[in-house]
Amino acid sequence: MGFKTIRWRRSVILALFLLLSLSLNASAEDRQMQELKDAFDASVKAEGKKAGDYELVDQDGRRFRLSDYFKENGGPLVVSFVYTSCPEVCPTITAELKASVDNARAKFGDRFNVLSVGFDAENDTPAALKKYGLKYAKDFSSIRFAAASSETARKMTEDFGFFWKKKADGSFDHIDMVTIVNGDGVIYKQVYSMRTQGATLGSRLEELLTGKPMGKGGASIINKIKYFCYRYDPYTGKYVIDYPIILSVFIQLAVILTVIYAVWGKRIMARLKKGQKG
């Protein structure tokens, strides 16, 4: 067996090994991407559904039910979910929510309510939520904060299509999203990416309060390919370019071409040369 034959066989084996490794990594990434895509789809499916009724305890220890907001002449309710020990994401979302709410109140007055619910039931006590809320407002007239039992937090977030997942270090992955519920207690719209697009909340409230809906566009080809080369970022509520997947596609293509060349390269080149002479 010649040295060249041994070398190309080794190249083929190495290429196949790399292809297998990339396939395993891609499978793990695909599973994560699918999980996040499913979470996003669940949030969209929640729109148009009647919100369930839940008992909560506000930052001052007062018990109330979610249905209290939807009694006669009740206005829209903006609902956000946070966890008080969040180091950066939740504080930024809450700050942007407060700014958006203040702008909307300047235009529409008190025609809507705002509720922020702690989903980390073990730590998000009324006292913890009060301490958290006072960082963003002097009182709780603009945003009410509420604690929930573990079961209530689980059911309510699932009901509202809010994605959250506890990590090994005790922190949480969660979607950057707030929910607008109409005066009848029906989930009207999800508002994504409060940290970067907080103004959307005001627009959605305006269309609900004035009856003038925003325009809707059809799904573009770009949106259709997002599920392939984009991944869903639960922090921002947006799809972002998934460079590892794109890189893996190019590497896999290169590996396949290497295998093809190693096995059939000489024959292909010989036929090309023969064709040129002919």
The reply to whether 55 and 184 lie within a common domain is: yes
Which residue, chain included where needed, has tokens 């603009």?
142
Same domain, yes or no, for 82 and 171?
yes
**111 and 86 in a common domain:** yes
Same domain assignment for residues 189 and 54: yes
Calculate what percentage of the chain has a pLDDT beyond 90.
Answer: 47
CA dihedral sign of residues 252, 254, 255, 259: positive
Identify the CATH number of the domain in which residue 135 sits.
Answer: 3.40.30.10
Is the same domain home to 18 and 139? no
Indicate the Cα dihedral angle 133, 137, 140, 146, nearest 10°: -20
The conformation of residue 214, written as its DSSP 8-state character, comes to P
Q: Is the pLDDT of residue 57 over 70?
A: yes
Q: Residue 212 has what pLDDT?
A: 78
Question: Does residue 270 form part of some domain?
Answer: yes
Cα 176 to chain centroid distance, Å, stands at 6
- Is 0.75 topped by the overall pTM? no
Of 189, 210, 231, which marks where a domain is finished?
A: 210
User: Does residue 10 belong to any structural domain of this protein?
Assistant: yes
Q: Are residues 205 and 67 part of one domain?
A: yes
Split into its structural domains, the chain has a count of 2
In a domain, 157, yes or no: yes
The whole domain housing 160 covers 46-210
Pair 7, 86 in one domain: no
Compute the radius of gyration of the chain from its Cα atoms: 26
Tell me: do 196 and 258 sit in the same domain.
Answer: no
How sure is the predictor about 218, in pLDDT bands with cuts at 50, 70 and 90? Answer: very low
- 137 and 250 assigned to the same domain: no
- Report the C-alpha gap between 148 and 118 in whole angstroms: 7
For the chain, the average pLDDT equals 79
Distance, in Å, from the CA atom of 108 to the CA atom of 104, rounded to the nearest integer, reads: 6
**DSSP letter for each residue of 68-84:** GGGSTT---EEEEEE-T
Lowest mean pLDDT among 78-82, 203-207, 216-220, 255-259: 216-220
Q: Does residue 190 lie within any of the structural domains?
A: yes
Residue 113 three-state SS: strand
Give the least confident one: 1-5, 63-67, 73-77, 131-135. 1-5
pLDDT of residue 226: 44
Choosing from 195, 210, 225, the residue where a domain stops is 210
Q: Does some domain include residue 156?
A: yes
Kindly state whether residue 164 falls inside one of the protein's structural domains: yes
Task: Clarify whether residues 21 and 53 are in a common domain.
Answer: no
Does 71 fall in a domain? yes
Statement to judge: residues 190 and 107 lie in one domain? yes
Question: Are 135 and 114 members of one domain?
Answer: yes
* Residue 153 clears pLDDT 60, i.e. is over it: yes
CB atoms within 10 A of CB 79: 22
Computed from CA positions of residues 216, 156, 116, 170, in that sequence, does the dihedral angle turn out positive or negative?
A: negative
In a domain, 98, yes or no: yes
Domain boundary among 210, 227, 261: 210
pLDDT tens digits, residue range 92-148? 999 999 999 999 999 999 999 999 999 999 999 999 999 999 999 888 988 999 999
Q: Where are the beta strands (DSSP E) in the chain?
A: 55-58, 63-65, 77-82, 113-118, 144-147, 164-166, 172-174, 177-181, 187-192, 230-233, 238-241
